[in-house]
Structure 1
Amino acid sequence: MSSDLEPHGRIGVVRLGDALDWSTAPDVRTMVSTMWDDLAGGCLVLDLAATTFCDSTGLGTLVSICTDSGERGVRLIVAAPPPGVLRMLRITGLTAFFELYDSAEDALRSARAGR
């Protein structure tokens, strides 16, 4: 798991590792929470390309980050959700709450363009 904050762009990127579950969710929340002030009026990209597993706690973490981003006026983009995560979002009806892109590159292009 890693994070980057683009200077002058108010765009933050969090790249998640192989699992988004009960054991990694607290670290993800902590990492994102340290970025909120710098992202005011900007965009947070969650890059899930390397994520191979997501349980209900991980799904709850995504929903929590989505809620927090809305409260803070930060645009949230979920990039490269793997098939299993995308399936969970569809089954639970949550795809409507997330701005989804097939790749981190597409997500960043959209974030930089302000779309």
Structure 2
Amino acid sequence: MSSEATGKPALSVTSGLSRNAIIIRLEGELDVDAVPVLQEHLQRIWDLPPKPFLIVDLSAVTFCDSMGMNELISVMQRCEARGTRLLLGGVHGVMARVLSITGLRHAFEVFARLDDALRLSVAST
């Protein structure tokens, strides 16, 4: 059921901190309607002092359209400007397919499991 029908956002965004990473978890549909929700959450992240890593957990994303991909590209560009390494964790199913189809699979550091992205961020300290 769409977010319009339920009155609830189709995307839930939460975040947390680890030693040298900010972890953002996305759950639901990353589409044109959800981008403002993600952007609002990200603004709070951008206001924090930069960490070496930003990990985006995509394991619970069920749909991603071109606007969602554009936002991920914007996040990558913002991370590069801040000197932060962007890692995409939990990339499988829908997100693996979208990244492959768009040819963006190699533009990002992609991990099938969130734990692998977390391990890399810890090992790089």
Distance 1:48 1:41 in 2: 20
Which whole-Å CA distance do the structure 2 matches of 1:52 and 1:43 have between them? 24
Structure with the larger strand share: 2
Larger radius of gyration: 2
User: Percent identity among equivalent residues?
Assistant: 34
Q: 2:16: which partner in 1? A: 4
The 10-residue stretch of structure 1 (78-87 or 99-108) with the greater mean CA deviation from structure 2: 78-87
- Residue 68 of structure 1 aligns to a residue whose secondary structure is helix
Residues 7-33 of structure 1: CA deviation (Å, up to 9, x unaligned): xx2310000011111111112122223
Query: Residue 48 of structure 1 contacts residue 81 of structure 1 at CA under 8 Å; is this kept in 2?
Result: yes
- With the length of structure 2 as denominator, give the TM-score of the two structures: 0.82
Once the two structures are TM-superposed, the CA of residue 88 in structure 1 deviates from its matched residue by: 1.6
Q: Which residue of 2 aligns with 1:71?
A: 81
Instruction: Output the TM-score relative to the length of structure 1.
Output: 0.88
Task: Flag the 1:92–1:39 CA change in 2: closer, same or farther, 3 A.
Answer: farther
* Pairs aligned (count): 113
Between the aligned partners of 1:51 and 1:38, the Cα distance in structure 2 is: 25
Secondary structure at the counterpart of residue 76 of structure 1: strand
1:94 and 2:104 are equivalent in the alignment: yes
Q: Residue 48 of structure 1 aligns with which residue? A: 58
2:36 maps to 26
Aligned to 2:10: none
Name the CA distance, whole Å, in 1 between partners of 2:17 and 2:69.
24
Separation in structure 1 between the aligned mates of residue 44 and residue 122 of structure 2, nearest angstrom:
21
**In the aligned structure 2, how far is the partner of 1:5 from the partner of 1:18?**
21
* CA distance in structure 2 between the aligned counterparts of 1:62 and 1:3, rounded to whole angstroms: 16
Checking the alignment, whether the CA contact within 8 Å between 2:22 and 2:51 is kept in structure 1 is no
Q: Are the counterparts in 2 of residues 77 and 99 from structure 1 also a CA contact under 8 Å?
A: yes
